[in-house]
């Protein structure tokens, strides 16, 4: 009840004006009036639009994947992970599996952030047990010589969206996604995952103009790609900036905040009602400014964020998503029960979408996800 009353009585405009001093340029979501039509019965969308709910909607990052036996069974039908992503029948099935098993409030398109470099013509592959491998872009010339972004290359992704949207239960929302320019660029430059994305950070210091060009190409491609995902049928998108946390403040502003803000405003030019969640993993104390200046509807919080701090420091008109430690979900038991209760309590007075602080891990026992669902569904915060 407390949650209902609190949310219903705080006037949205009042909340916004309290934070006006925070930012220089009003974010697009606040400066335009774009009332979304509530012609659906989808708790995830209601909450993302700022509505009240007795219990938070829930989905989990990487909810389709190797912890599910049914995923492992169909994954073995494709030799390469990218082939799997580009086979609409398989990608559709992978998207739907966690919905059937757990009844999450949102499905996330099954694909990968690295289909974008692939659509630029960069060679991308996934080695079992080693993660992604790309032909690294090591010189400014390589960036200048990058091919055109081919949206048509991603047609199988849009066909997957079309198939999934016809197969989802009416109460289940559908989320599309892309990687944020900094995170995608960091893989394009290093050619693989690294502990701290040092290759891309060094490249950006040494060749700022060429790095800016790469970021600009990714901003434009991301706008086109996400707009097309909406056209195909997704109802919200998430922008994954998984490596936002490795940058000093000035670089965070230039390579994470500004590009994501440009994607969001560009996308809203194409689709005024686009619902957008940004996930700046590791952004820590930059998060309130990031939320205000990008104008994202929702912010995905990572595992390390203190929920008491987040509840108080992030403007109340921003919907918070997260952020149970994926390792707690492996542990289960009392640790899981307590951690879930704490998160529910911390966000009881504001719109909250329950999620993990990063992707679900392959070792996660199915029963622990079932216990999580039971706890969330029986919660009344
Ligand atoms: O969330 C979902 O269920 C939708 C599908 C999804 C995948 N990757 C499937 C996947 C999403 C949203 C992603 C995003 C993604 N991909 C990110 C951002 C989120 C994050 O985790 O930080 C990043 C950085 C990538 C790049 C990537 N893809 C890496 C580093 C790896 C290897 C690590 C790993 O977990 O294996 C992948 C491969 C990948 N993407 C798998 C899945 C299910 C595993 C590959 C397999 O099943 O063979």
Q: How many whole angstroms separate alpha carbon 264 and alpha carbon 378?
A: 35
pLDDT of amino acid 79: 87
Helices and strands (H and E) in the chain: how many? 20, 9
pLDDT of amino acid 1: 37
Contacts (Cβ under 8 Å, ≥6 apart) of 256? 180, 182, 241, 244, 247, 280, 283, 290
Residue for token digits 């993660």?
Answer: 131
Catalytic member of 23, 36, 75, 135: 75
Out of 72, 77, 108, 113, give the residue to mutate to test ligand 1, the one with the largest number of ligand atoms within 8 Å of its CB.
113
Give Cα separations from 12 to 17, 26, 115, 317, 335 (angstroms): 9, 15, 38, 7, 36
| SS3 state at 237 | strand
pLDDT of amino acid 35: 55
Phi then psi for residue 71, to 5 deg, are -70, -45
Residue for token digits 């098993």?
Answer: 101
CB 309 within 8 A of CB 287: no
Pocket of ligand 1 (CB under 6 A): 61-66, 75, 81, 108, 110, 112-114, 126, 131-132, 177, 179, 193, 240, 242, 359
**Ligand 1 atom at minimum distance from 71 CA:** 47
Q: Is the pTM of this model over 0.85?
A: yes
The answer to whether residue 105 is catalytic is no
Element (H, E) at 226: helix 208-232
Contacts (Cβ under 8 Å, ≥6 apart) of 111? 85, 91, 157, 160, 177
Catalytic member of 3, 71, 105, 112: 112
Catalytic member of 66, 101, 254, 270: 66
| CA 317 – ligand 1 centroid, Å | 30
| CA 51 – ligand 1 centroid, Å | 30
pLDDT of amino acid 130: 84
CB 166 within 8 A of CB 95: no
Catalytic member of 71, 86, 187, 347: 187
Catalytic member of 3, 49, 62, 281: 62
| CA 331 – ligand 1 centroid, Å | 22
pLDDT of amino acid 38: 64
| CA 62 – ligand 1 centroid, Å | 7
| CA 332 – ligand 1 centroid, Å | 23
Ligand 1: residue whose CA is nearest its atom 45:
81
| CA 181 – ligand 1 centroid, Å | 16
Ligand 1: residue whose CA is nearest its atom 22:
242
| 372 prior amide bond cis, ω within 30 | no
Residue for token digits 């560009």?
Answer: 266
Query: In terms of residues, how long is the chain?
Result: 381
Q: How many whole angstroms separate alpha carbon 52 and alpha carbon 66?
A: 34
Residue 298: beta bridge partners?
277, 319
| SS3 state at 192 | strand
**Ligand 1 atom at minimum distance from 63 CA:** 3
Q: What percent helix, strand, coil does the chain show, rounded to 5?
A: 50, 10, 35
CB 172 within 8 A of CB 109: no
pLDDT of amino acid 37: 62
CATH label, 2-377, candidates 3.40.50.720, 3.20.20.210, 1.10.10.10, 3.40.50.1000 = 3.20.20.210
As given in the structure block, the two tokens for residue 277 are: 């969640």
252 alpha-carbon distance from chain centroid:
18
The mean pLDDT values, 10 residues at a time, for the chain of 381 residues are: 40 39 40 56 96 92 97 93 97 98 98 98 90 96 97 98 97 98 98 95 98 98 98 98 97 98 98 97 97 98 96 95 97 97 94 98 98 92 59
Ligand 1: residue whose CA is nearest its atom 23:
113
The answer to whether residue 62 is catalytic is yes
Per-residue DSSP letter, 21: G
pLDDT of amino acid 381: 59
């Amino acid at each position: 009840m407390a949650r209902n009353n609190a949310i219903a009585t705080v006037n949205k405009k009042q909340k916004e004006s309290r934070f006006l001093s925070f930012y220089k340029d009003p974010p697009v979501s606040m400066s335009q009036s774009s009332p979304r039509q509530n012609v659906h019965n989808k708790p995830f969308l209601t909450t993302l639009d700022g509505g009240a709910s007795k219990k938070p909607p829930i989905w989990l990052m990487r909810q389709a994947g190797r912890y599910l036996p049914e995923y492992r069974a169909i994954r073995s039908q494709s030799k390469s992970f990218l082939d799997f992503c580009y086979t609409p029948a398989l990608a559709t099935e992978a998207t739907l599996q966690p919905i059937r098993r757990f009844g999450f409030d949102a499905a996330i398109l099954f694909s990968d952030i690295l289909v974008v470099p692939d659509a630029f013509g960069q060679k991308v592959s996934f080695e079992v047990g080693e993660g992604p491998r790309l032909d690294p872009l090591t010189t400014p010339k390589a960036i200048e010589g990058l091919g055109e972004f081919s949206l048509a290359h991603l047609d199988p992704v849009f066909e997957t969206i079309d198939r999934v949207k016809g197969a989802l239960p009416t109460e289940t929302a559908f989320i599309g996604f892309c990687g944020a320019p900094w995170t995608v660029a960091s893989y394009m430059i290093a050619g693989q995952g690294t502990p701290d994305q040092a290759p891309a950070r060094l490249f950006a210091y040494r060749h700022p103009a060429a790095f800016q060009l790469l970021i600009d190409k990714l901003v434009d491609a991301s706008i086109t790609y996400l707009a097309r995902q909406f056209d195909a049928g997704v109802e919200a998108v998430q922008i994954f900036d998984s490596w936002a946390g490795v940058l000093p403040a000035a670089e965070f502003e230039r390579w994470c905040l500004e590009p994501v803000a440009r994607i969001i405003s560009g996308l809203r030019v194409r689709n005024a009602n686009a619902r957008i969640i940004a996930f700046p993993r590791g952004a820590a104390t930059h998060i309130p400014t990031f939320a205000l200046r990008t104008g994202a509807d929702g912010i995905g919080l990572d595992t390390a964020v203190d929920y008491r701090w987040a509840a108080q420091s992030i403007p109340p008109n921003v919907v918070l998503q997260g952020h149970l430690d994926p390792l707690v979900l492996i542990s289960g038991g009392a640790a899981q029960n307590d951690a879930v209760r704490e998160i529910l309590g911390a966000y009881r007075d504001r719109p909250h979408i329950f999620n993990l602080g990063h992707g679900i891990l392959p070792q996660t026992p199915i029963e622990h996800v079932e216990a999580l669902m039971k706890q969330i569904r029986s919660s009344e915060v």
